[in-house]
Chain A
Amino acid sequence: EVHLVESGGGLVQPGGSLRLSCEASEFTFTNYWMNWVRQAPGKGLEWVGNIKQDGSTTHYGDSMKGRFTISRDNAKNSLYLQMNSLRVDDTALYYCARDAYSTGSLDLWGRGTLVTVSS
Protein backbone atom coordinates (compact mmCIF):
# COMPACT_ATOMS: atom_id res chain seq x y z
CA GLU A 1 0.00 0.00 0.00
CA VAL A 2 1.31 3.43 -0.89
CA HIS A 3 2.07 5.58 2.08
CA LEU A 4 4.19 8.30 3.64
CA VAL A 5 5.53 8.20 7.18
CA GLU A 6 6.92 11.28 8.90
CA SER A 7 9.29 11.20 11.84
CA GLY A 8 11.64 13.44 13.79
CA GLY A 9 9.20 15.68 15.60
CA GLY A 10 9.55 16.58 19.26
CA LEU A 11 10.08 19.34 21.78
CA VAL A 12 12.69 21.97 20.98
CA GLN A 13 13.57 25.30 22.57
CA PRO A 14 13.12 28.60 20.73
CA GLY A 15 16.12 29.25 18.49
CA GLY A 16 16.84 25.55 18.19
CA SER A 17 16.92 23.23 15.19
CA LEU A 18 15.15 20.05 14.16
CA ARG A 19 15.23 17.77 11.13
CA LEU A 20 12.09 16.01 10.00
CA SER A 21 12.06 12.99 7.72
CA CYS A 22 9.41 11.47 5.50
CA GLU A 23 9.79 7.98 4.11
CA ALA A 24 7.85 6.98 1.01
CA SER A 25 6.72 3.45 0.23
CA GLU A 26 5.19 1.52 -2.65
CA PHE A 27 5.36 4.21 -5.33
CA THR A 28 8.01 5.65 -7.63
CA PHE A 29 9.27 8.48 -5.44
CA THR A 30 11.32 10.06 -8.22
CA ASN A 31 8.20 10.79 -10.30
CA TYR A 32 6.82 13.39 -7.90
CA TRP A 33 7.27 16.85 -6.53
CA MET A 34 7.06 16.50 -2.74
CA ASN A 35 5.67 19.00 -0.26
CA TRP A 36 5.63 19.87 3.42
CA VAL A 37 2.45 21.32 4.91
CA ARG A 38 1.93 22.26 8.56
CA GLN A 39 -1.04 22.81 10.83
CA ALA A 40 -0.79 24.63 14.15
CA PRO A 41 -3.03 23.24 16.91
CA GLY A 42 -6.63 24.17 16.18
CA LYS A 43 -5.61 26.21 13.12
CA GLY A 44 -5.70 25.85 9.34
CA LEU A 45 -3.28 24.37 6.85
CA GLU A 46 -0.14 26.28 5.88
CA TRP A 47 2.02 25.37 2.90
CA VAL A 48 5.68 25.09 3.97
CA GLY A 49 7.41 24.35 0.69
CA ASN A 50 8.17 21.81 -2.01
CA ILE A 51 10.98 20.16 -3.94
CA LYS A 52 11.26 18.99 -7.52
CA GLN A 53 11.67 15.36 -8.49
CA ASP A 54 15.46 15.58 -8.90
CA GLY A 55 15.98 17.92 -5.94
CA SER A 56 17.21 20.76 -8.16
CA THR A 57 14.44 23.24 -7.29
CA THR A 58 12.79 24.21 -4.02
CA HIS A 59 10.17 26.79 -3.12
CA TYR A 60 9.12 28.02 0.32
CA GLY A 61 6.34 29.90 2.02
CA ASP A 62 7.23 33.42 3.10
CA SER A 63 7.52 32.72 6.84
CA MET A 64 9.83 29.76 6.17
CA LYS A 65 12.32 31.40 3.80
CA GLY A 66 15.86 31.52 5.13
CA ARG A 67 15.09 29.26 8.10
CA PHE A 68 13.80 26.01 6.56
CA THR A 69 15.48 23.82 3.96
CA ILE A 70 13.82 20.99 2.06
CA SER A 71 15.91 18.19 0.58
CA ARG A 72 15.41 14.65 -0.65
CA ASP A 73 17.42 11.45 -1.04
CA ASN A 74 15.89 9.54 -3.94
CA ALA A 75 18.05 6.49 -3.24
CA LYS A 76 16.37 6.23 0.17
CA ASN A 77 12.89 7.33 -0.99
CA SER A 78 13.08 10.02 1.66
CA LEU A 79 12.16 13.67 2.03
CA TYR A 80 13.61 15.97 4.67
CA LEU A 81 12.82 19.29 6.33
CA GLN A 82 15.66 21.03 8.16
CA MET A 83 14.26 23.69 10.46
CA ASN A 84 16.55 26.27 12.06
CA SER A 85 15.94 29.31 14.26
CA LEU A 86 12.70 27.79 15.42
CA ARG A 87 10.06 30.05 16.94
CA VAL A 88 7.11 29.36 19.22
CA ASP A 89 4.77 29.93 16.27
CA ASP A 90 6.43 27.08 14.35
CA THR A 91 4.65 24.70 16.72
CA ALA A 92 2.52 22.50 14.48
CA LEU A 93 1.81 19.10 13.05
CA TYR A 94 4.01 18.75 9.99
CA TYR A 95 2.75 16.67 7.07
CA CYS A 96 4.60 15.52 4.00
CA ALA A 97 2.49 15.18 0.86
CA ARG A 98 2.90 13.96 -2.71
CA ASP A 99 1.94 16.20 -5.64
CA ALA A 100 0.14 13.90 -8.03
CA TYR A 101 0.26 16.04 -11.18
CA SER A 102 2.86 18.73 -10.35
CA THR A 103 0.01 21.22 -10.00
CA GLY A 104 -0.34 21.42 -6.24
CA SER A 105 -2.66 18.41 -6.27
CA LEU A 106 -1.60 16.76 -3.01
CA ASP A 107 -3.09 13.29 -3.30
CA LEU A 108 -1.12 11.36 -0.68
CA TRP A 109 -0.44 12.56 2.86
CA GLY A 110 1.32 11.11 5.85
CA ARG A 111 -0.14 11.20 9.37
CA GLY A 112 2.16 14.02 10.39
CA THR A 113 4.80 14.55 13.06
CA LEU A 114 4.32 17.04 15.88
CA VAL A 115 6.85 19.79 16.49
CA THR A 116 6.56 21.76 19.72
CA VAL A 117 8.70 24.86 20.20
CA SER A 118 8.70 25.91 23.83
CA SER A 119 11.06 26.90 26.60
Chain B
Amino acid sequence: QSALTQPASVSGSPGQSITISCTGTSSDVGSYNLVSWYQQHPGKAPKLMIYDVTNRPSGVSNRFSGSKSGNTASLTISGLQAEDEADYYCNSYTRTGPAYVFGTGTKVTVL
Protein backbone atom coordinates (compact mmCIF):
# COMPACT_ATOMS: atom_id res chain seq x y z
CA GLN B 1 0.00 0.00 0.00
CA SER B 2 1.99 2.96 -1.27
CA ALA B 3 0.95 6.44 -0.19
CA LEU B 4 -1.04 8.46 -2.69
CA THR B 5 0.98 11.28 -4.28
CA GLN B 6 0.18 14.90 -3.46
CA PRO B 7 2.19 18.07 -4.17
CA ALA B 8 4.21 19.09 -1.11
CA SER B 9 2.90 22.64 -1.20
CA VAL B 10 0.36 24.86 -2.91
CA SER B 11 -0.11 28.56 -2.38
CA GLY B 12 -2.53 31.27 -3.40
CA SER B 13 -3.65 34.78 -2.57
CA PRO B 14 -6.84 35.53 -0.67
CA GLY B 15 -9.86 35.19 -2.92
CA GLN B 16 -8.12 32.97 -5.43
CA SER B 17 -8.88 29.32 -6.16
CA ILE B 18 -6.38 26.53 -5.72
CA THR B 19 -6.49 22.83 -6.56
CA ILE B 20 -4.68 20.02 -4.78
CA SER B 21 -4.15 16.78 -6.71
CA CYS B 22 -4.03 13.29 -5.29
CA THR B 23 -2.65 10.64 -7.65
CA GLY B 24 -3.09 6.95 -7.05
CA THR B 25 -3.44 3.87 -9.21
CA SER B 26 -6.09 1.64 -10.71
CA SER B 27 -6.05 -0.31 -7.42
CA ASP B 28 -7.31 2.62 -5.40
CA VAL B 29 -8.38 6.07 -6.65
CA GLY B 30 -9.02 4.83 -10.18
CA SER B 31 -11.38 2.05 -9.19
CA TYR B 32 -13.38 3.35 -6.25
CA ASN B 33 -15.37 6.48 -5.49
CA LEU B 34 -14.13 6.27 -1.90
CA VAL B 35 -11.84 9.27 -1.74
CA SER B 36 -11.94 11.60 1.24
CA TRP B 37 -10.06 14.80 2.08
CA TYR B 38 -8.90 16.08 5.48
CA GLN B 39 -7.75 19.47 6.73
CA GLN B 40 -5.29 19.59 9.62
CA HIS B 41 -4.20 22.72 11.42
CA PRO B 42 -1.00 22.59 13.52
CA GLY B 43 -1.48 20.71 16.77
CA LYS B 44 -5.04 19.73 15.89
CA ALA B 45 -6.77 16.53 14.83
CA PRO B 46 -7.69 16.18 11.16
CA LYS B 47 -11.11 17.36 9.99
CA LEU B 48 -13.16 15.68 7.26
CA MET B 49 -13.76 18.10 4.38
CA ILE B 50 -14.94 15.86 1.51
CA TYR B 51 -16.04 12.22 1.41
CA ASP B 52 -16.94 9.81 -1.39
CA VAL B 53 -15.07 12.05 -3.88
CA THR B 54 -17.58 14.91 -4.03
CA ASN B 55 -19.69 15.02 -0.85
CA ARG B 56 -19.35 17.73 1.74
CA PRO B 57 -20.20 16.99 5.40
CA SER B 58 -22.64 19.27 7.12
CA GLY B 59 -20.91 22.42 8.33
CA VAL B 60 -18.10 22.41 5.78
CA SER B 61 -17.98 25.53 3.61
CA ASN B 62 -19.17 25.16 0.01
CA ARG B 63 -15.87 26.78 -1.00
CA PHE B 64 -14.46 23.25 -0.76
CA SER B 65 -15.23 20.83 -3.58
CA GLY B 66 -13.92 17.48 -4.76
CA SER B 67 -13.65 15.70 -8.07
CA LYS B 68 -11.94 12.75 -9.73
CA SER B 69 -10.64 11.85 -13.15
CA GLY B 70 -9.00 8.50 -13.78
CA ASN B 71 -6.42 7.78 -11.10
CA THR B 72 -6.32 11.37 -9.83
CA ALA B 73 -8.63 13.01 -7.31
CA SER B 74 -8.65 16.74 -6.67
CA LEU B 75 -9.67 19.14 -3.93
CA THR B 76 -10.48 22.70 -4.98
CA ILE B 77 -10.66 25.57 -2.52
CA SER B 78 -12.32 28.63 -3.98
CA GLY B 79 -12.30 32.12 -2.47
CA LEU B 80 -9.16 31.27 -0.50
CA GLN B 81 -9.16 32.62 3.06
CA ALA B 82 -6.45 32.95 5.69
CA GLU B 83 -8.13 30.24 7.80
CA ASP B 84 -7.65 27.74 4.95
CA GLU B 85 -3.91 27.71 5.59
CA ALA B 86 -3.32 24.15 6.81
CA ASP B 87 -2.14 20.71 5.75
CA TYR B 88 -4.47 18.69 3.53
CA TYR B 89 -4.54 14.93 3.08
CA CYS B 90 -6.44 12.72 0.67
CA ASN B 91 -7.42 9.16 1.49
CA SER B 92 -8.68 6.32 -0.67
CA TYR B 93 -9.89 2.78 -0.33
CA THR B 94 -7.49 0.31 -1.94
CA ARG B 95 -8.14 -3.28 -2.88
CA THR B 96 -4.52 -4.01 -1.93
CA GLY B 97 -5.28 -5.26 1.55
CA PRO B 98 -8.12 -4.36 1.45
CA ALA B 99 -7.32 -1.18 3.28
CA TYR B 100 -7.25 2.58 3.16
CA VAL B 101 -4.25 4.71 2.24
CA PHE B 102 -3.51 8.38 2.86
CA GLY B 103 -1.81 10.81 0.55
CA THR B 104 1.59 12.33 1.27
CA GLY B 105 -0.01 15.62 2.36
CA THR B 106 -0.03 19.16 0.96
CA LYS B 107 0.75 22.34 2.85
CA VAL B 108 -1.49 25.17 1.71
CA THR B 109 -0.14 28.68 2.21
CA VAL B 110 -2.26 31.80 1.88
CA LEU B 111 0.02 34.55 0.63
Q: Which residues does A use to contact B, with CB under 8 Å?
A: 35, 37, 44-47, 49-50, 59-62, 95, 97, 100-101, 103-107, 109-112
Contact = CB atoms under 8 A, between A and B. Distances in A.
Contacts of B99: 47, 49, 59-62
Contacts of B97: 59-62
A62 B101 CA distance: 10
A104 B98 contact: no
B38 A104 contact: no
Contacts, number: 77
Given A103-B51, A104-B34, A44 B45 contact: no
A50 B48 contact: no
Given A44-B104, A101-B51, A106-B38, A112 B57 contact: no
A50 B97 CA distance: 12
Interface stretch (B19-27, B67-75, B87-95): B87-95
Interface of B: 1, 3, 34, 36, 38, 40, 45-48, 51-52, 55, 57, 87, 89, 91-93, 97-105
Contacts of A105: 36, 48, 51-52, 55, 57
B105 A45 contact: yes
B105 A107 contact: no
Given A104-B92, A105-B52, A62 B34 contact: no
